[in-house]
Amino acid sequence: KNNLLNKAYLSPFIKALFSKKSKKTINRKLAYSLCVGLIVETIFLFIILNTISGGFIYSYKFVLFIDFVTFVLCIYLFRIICKKFDYVDYISKEVESIKEGSIDYKLEVRGNDQIARLANNINNMSEGLGKAVDNAIRSEKMKTELITNVSHDLKTPLTSIINYVDMLRSEDIDDNTRKAYLSILDKKSKRLKILVEEIFEAAKLSSGEIEFHIEKTDIKELLIQSVVELDDKIQESRLDFIIDTPDEPIFTMADGKRTFRAFENLITNITKYSAPNTRVYIDLFVENDTISIIFKNISNYRLNLSPDEFLERFRRGDSSRNTEGSGLGLSITQSIINTQNGTMDLNIDGDLFKVILQFKICE
C-alpha cells in the first residue's frame, strides 16, 4: 500500500495534506493554499458564468473542466516545488550535522540552480573549515615543537657556558687550561648570539618588520660572490662544488643584501648536511623570462621529512640534532625569497636534496 502511494502521481500532495511528518512543513502550507485556491476559483467561476450565461449545467461542466486543468497543472507545479523544498529541508538537516562537528560530510548536489549552488558552496565551506581545523591542529603542534626545539637549542650552549664558568672559578686549573676554557666560552657565547639573532630575524621576516631595498641586481654575480665568501667552509666540508652559470650578467629586481643572505643560508646548509666527498651542483639558467637557480646535494642523513616539514622553523635534517644549526635557515631563506616575489621549492628524491629558486628576469 505504501509503495503504491509513493509511486502515485498525487503522493506528494496527499502526504503534504495528511502525513504527520508534514504537519509543520512548507509543503503542507502549500497544499492547503492550493486547495483553498481551487475552491475560491470554482466559486468565482460559477458566479461569473451564471451571471453571463444564466445556464447552470453549462457553467457546471465548464467549471469542472477548468478546475480539472488547473488542478493537474497545480499538482505538476506542486511536485516540482516540493522537490525543491525537500532538498532545502535535506540541506538544513545536514548543515545541522556540520554544525555539530561533522565537517567532513559532503552534501549531495542536485541540479544546477541556486539551491544546488548553495549546496556546493556549503561543501566548499565545509572543506575550507576542515582545512582550517587541520591547520590549527598542525599549528598547535608546531608551536609545541618550536618551544621544545628552541629550549633545546638554547639550553645546550647555556649549559656549556655555565659549566665552564663553574670550572673557571676553580683555583686548581693552570693558565693553559683557563685559556682553553675561555676559548670554548667565547665560541659557545658567539653560537648563542647567532641563534638568538636568527630567532629575531625569522620573527621579523614573518611579521614584515624587515625593510627590503629592491633594485636591479646581477643575481649571477651575487651567487658567485656568496660561493667565494664561503670558500673556507666549502674547503673544510670536503665537497666538490660544480657551478654552472651563463657567461653574461643576469638581472632581477631584488635586495642584494637579503638575497646574499639567502644564498649563504643554502650553501651553509649544504656544507653541514651533505655526505662527505660528494658533489654539489649549483645551476643558474634562464627560461621563458624566469631565472632558475637549483642547488643539489646528497644528504648525509636520512631524509624522512616532507618538503613542507623541512620549511618549518627549527626543523633539522639531522634529527638527532648533533649538527650545529638552528633549523631556521630554510625558513628564513623562503621568507626572503617570497618577500621579493620569488619562489622557493624543495624536492626530495631518496638522499638527493634539491632547492629550486625562481625570480623574474629584469632586462
Q: Are 292 and 358 in contact (CB under 8 A)?
A: yes
pTM of the shown model: 0.54
Check whether residue 173 and residue 273 sit in a common domain: no
Q: Are 293 and 282 in contact (CB under 8 A)?
A: yes
Q: Which domain covers residue 184, as residue numbers?
A: 142-207
pLDDT at res. 32: 63
pLDDT at res. 218: 94
- What's the CA gap between 15 and 6, in Å, rounded? 9
Considering 44, 77, 102, which residue would you say is the last residue of a domain? 102
- What's the CA gap between 199 and 141, in Å, rounded? 19
Mean pLDDT estimate for the chain:
76
Query: Can you spell out the DSSP letters for 243-291?
Result: EE--SS--EEEE-HHHHHHHHHHHHHHHHHHBPTT-EEEEEEEEETTEE
Residue 120 lies in a domain: no
CATH number at residue 280: 3.30.565.10
Nearest to 252 by CA among 363, 160, 90, 106: 363
- What's the CA gap between 339 and 240, in Å, rounded? 31
pLDDT at res. 5: 42
Output Rg (C-alpha) for the chain, integer angstroms.
38
Q: Where are the alpha helices (DSSP H) in the chain?
A: 2-7, 11-18, 26-52, 56-99, 114-168, 175-207, 219-229, 231-237, 256-273, 307-310, 329-339
| 62-101 confidence digits (pLDDT tens) | 666 766 777 677 666 666 666 766 777 777 777 777 777 6
| 176-187 confidence digits (pLDDT tens) | 888 888 888 888
Per-residue pLDDT for 4 more than 50?
no
Q: Report how far Cα 74 is from the mean position of its chain's Cα atoms.
A: 50
Check whether residue 147 and residue 235 sit in a common domain: no
pLDDT at res. 1: 44
Considering 185, 207, 229, which residue would you say is the last residue of a domain? 207
CA distances from 136 to 3, 130, 131, 142 (A): 49, 10, 8, 10
Considering 49, 81, 102, which residue would you say is the last residue of a domain? 102
- What's the CA gap between 350 and 237, in Å, rounded? 21
Check whether residue 71 and residue 172 sit in a common domain: no
CA distances from 300 to 69, 198, 230, 278 (A): 85, 24, 20, 10
Which one has a higher pLDDT value, 73 or 297? 297
Residue 114 lies in a domain: no
Residue 14 lies in a domain: yes
Check whether residue 229 and residue 328 sit in a common domain: yes
What's the domain count of the chain? Answer: 3
| 251-267 confidence digits (pLDDT tens) | 999 999 889 988 988 99
CATH number at residue 158: 1.10.287.130
Check whether residue 193 and residue 297 sit in a common domain: no
Tell me the pLDDT band of 7, cut-offs 50, 70 and 90: very low
For residue 141, the one-letter residue type is K
C-alpha cell of residue 328: 631556521
